[in-house]
Structure 1
Amino acid sequence: MDIATLLGIVLAIGSIIGGQALEGGHLSSIMQLTAFIIVAGGTIGACCVQNPLSVVIKSIGSLGMVFGNTPIDTKATIKLILDLATVSRKQGLLALEGKLKDIKDPFFKKGVQLIVDGTDPKAVHEILEIEVEHHEEAGVKAAKVWEAAGGYAPTVGILGAVLGLIHVMENLADPSKLGGGIAVAFVATVYGVGLANLFFLPFANKIKMKLKEESGARNIIIMGLVGLAQGENPRLLQEKLESFLPHEERSKEAKK
């Protein structure tokens, strides 16, 4: 679980409800099912019009990146690459086949398998780079659905407000119906702006940020595996890969 996401949602909603209570308001006054249906349904519909259904479904699945927290251990990745480089230097590239079972990351495993199969280092680089680009492109498309939702929600909220005011105008002769119409009008705007700025846009930005982190980690793997396939000296390879680490995390040799 990504604690920052959970903490942010709790803090945002808590602040709004708390502020409402401090002003003497009641929670029931901002709990309007009609307004929520207008904003949520209208926003989802607009996103479905803009994007293919497969991308919309992918965007829902991408919430795992928002709420999940898979740590990226760059230092451990570099150590594994250097261990493989040492093995290949002593026993040859075919010896890496015995190490495949110890590699959990499918991307990393695919790269090592390509090397074991005798694939040209340049081809290994191209194949893995295409996979990184494809993964990032798919993720960005999902993020853009949430970004689009963040653009549509406030506008749909205004639409809900106008509908509420129309209802009010139609019932001016009946004061008992005015309160409900005005409530829907204002609450729809609150829902639209709130969903966009507290959820949809932050979701999109967090997905993009985590995609960038994943791509960075995979680029380190590509650089390391290509160097391994080319028979680079493990010491030189270590210097190259540890340049991605903060200075305090580098080995003593790499700090010199």
Structure 2
Amino acid sequence: MDLSTIAGIMVGIGLIVLSVFLSAVQPDIYLNMPGLLIVIGGTIAATLVSFPTHELTKVFRVLGNAFRSHEYSIQDDISEIAHAARLRRHGDLARIEDQLERIPNPFLKTAIQLVIDNTPTDEIVNILQWRIKRLREQERAEAHIFHVMSVYAPAFGMFGTLVGMVNMLFGINGPDMLNVGHNMAVALMTTLYGLILSNLIFKPIAIKLERRTEKRAMIMRMIVEGTIMLAGNRSPVFIRETLKSFSAHHDDELRRGSSSTGADELEQPGRRASKQQRNLDDDF
């Protein structure tokens, strides 16, 4: 489980509940079922209208991913590429085939398989880059659903506010002032519910999913660089050290928030390192 997601939501809800109990004379007035139904029901209905059914069926799976811990370690992939390079230099393709059966990463498995099948390097890069692009588009579309829901929730909160205000103004001259207070509560609570759902649930989940996608894409770009070096028959030591330099910087690139730029820059250090380490590479 991803403790940061669970802890963030629990802390947020806890602070809201604590502030209610500390400030309200009667805390149960913050439980307003008509307002909650307006916000949740309206958000779900608008989302159903906005997206086709086959995309919405993935929401629960994607929501589960936001609460799972995803640790993507490049070190195992670096070791697999370096080991395949060592076997390829020795001409032991049969052992590489055996190695492929034990590789859990399907993207890396495809990359090494293309190399041992003597696929041209340009075609390998095109195939792998297409898979990265497909991954990013698919997972960005999934995160986009939660971004849209984060917009709809406050909008239906305002809709509930208008409903409550209309009902309040209609009955303001009546004898029963309790209805006025009830309608005023609906008017204010729907806005509160919409803001909480948007800024504590939907938008943070969308951002977390996007961050996960960018991290996976950057690791896949590093695998592409390693595959290019493997296809070029570079030494295991050179491949390992070059990819380790990528691994040491990829977290920093993600923190800068320049995922596309950082991914493009990954290609340049690899080319510079290739020129600087050429003599070392010839020794292995």
With the length of structure 2 as denominator, give the TM-score of the two structures.
Answer: 0.81
In structure 1, C-alpha distance between the alignment counterparts of 2:24 and 2:166, rounded to whole Å? 28
1:30 aligns with 2:38: no
Contact 1:136/1:215 (CA < 8 Å) preserved in 2?
Answer: yes
Q: 1:191 aligns with which of 193, 202, 226?
A: 193
Report the residue type matching 2:237 in the other structure: R
In structure 2, C-alpha distance between the alignment counterparts of 1:161 and 1:25, rounded to whole Å? 22
Once the two structures are superposed, the pairs formed by residues 1-256 of structure 1 within 5 Å of their partners are 1-172=1-172, 173=174, 174-246=176-248
Report the residue type matching 2:150 in the other structure: G
Query: SS at the partner of 2:4?
Result: helix
Shift of 1:26: 4.3
Structure 1, 238-247 or 221-230: larger mean CA deviation? 238-247
Report the residue type matching 2:40 in the other structure: A
Contact 1:168/1:181 (CA < 8 Å) preserved in 2?
Answer: yes
With the length of structure 1 as denominator, give the TM-score of the two structures.
Answer: 0.90
Spell out, residue by residue over 1:125-173, the C-alpha distance to the aligned partner (whole angstroms, 9 max, x if none).
Answer: 2111111110110111111111111122111101101111222223331
Aligned length: 248
Report the residue type matching 1:117 in the other structure: D
Mark the CA change 1:25 to 1:16 in structure 2 (over 3 Å): closer, same or farther: farther
Which residue in the other structure is 2:253 paired with?
Answer: none
**Percent identical residues:** 29
Structure 1, 217-226 or 170-179: larger mean CA deviation? 170-179
Contact 1:122/1:226 (CA < 8 Å) preserved in 2?
Answer: no
Mark the CA change 1:227 to 1:92 in structure 2 (over 3 Å): closer, same or farther: farther
Mark the CA change 1:34 to 1:81 in structure 2 (over 3 Å): closer, same or farther: same
Structure 1, 111-120 or 224-233: larger mean CA deviation? 111-120
Mark the CA change 1:222 to 1:64 in structure 2 (over 3 Å): closer, same or farther: farther
Report the residue type matching 1:9 in the other structure: I
Structure 1, 181-190 or 43-52: larger mean CA deviation? 43-52
Report the residue type matching 1:8 in the other structure: G
Mark the CA change 1:111 to 1:25 in structure 2 (over 3 Å): closer, same or farther: farther
Report the residue type matching 2:194 in the other structure: G
Contact 2:150/2:199 (CA < 8 Å) preserved in 1?
Answer: yes
Mark the CA change 1:26 to 1:3 in structure 2 (over 3 Å): closer, same or farther: farther
Contact 1:43/1:149 (CA < 8 Å) preserved in 2?
Answer: yes
Spell out, residue by residue over 1:31-84, the C-alpha distance to the aligned partner (whole angstroms, 9 max, x if none).
Answer: 222111111121222223333332333343222331111211112221221112
Contact 1:160/1:184 (CA < 8 Å) preserved in 2?
Answer: yes
Contact 2:77/2:108 (CA < 8 Å) preserved in 1?
Answer: no
Flag the structure with more relative contact order, 1 or 2, with Cα contacts below 8 A and sequence separation at least 6: 1
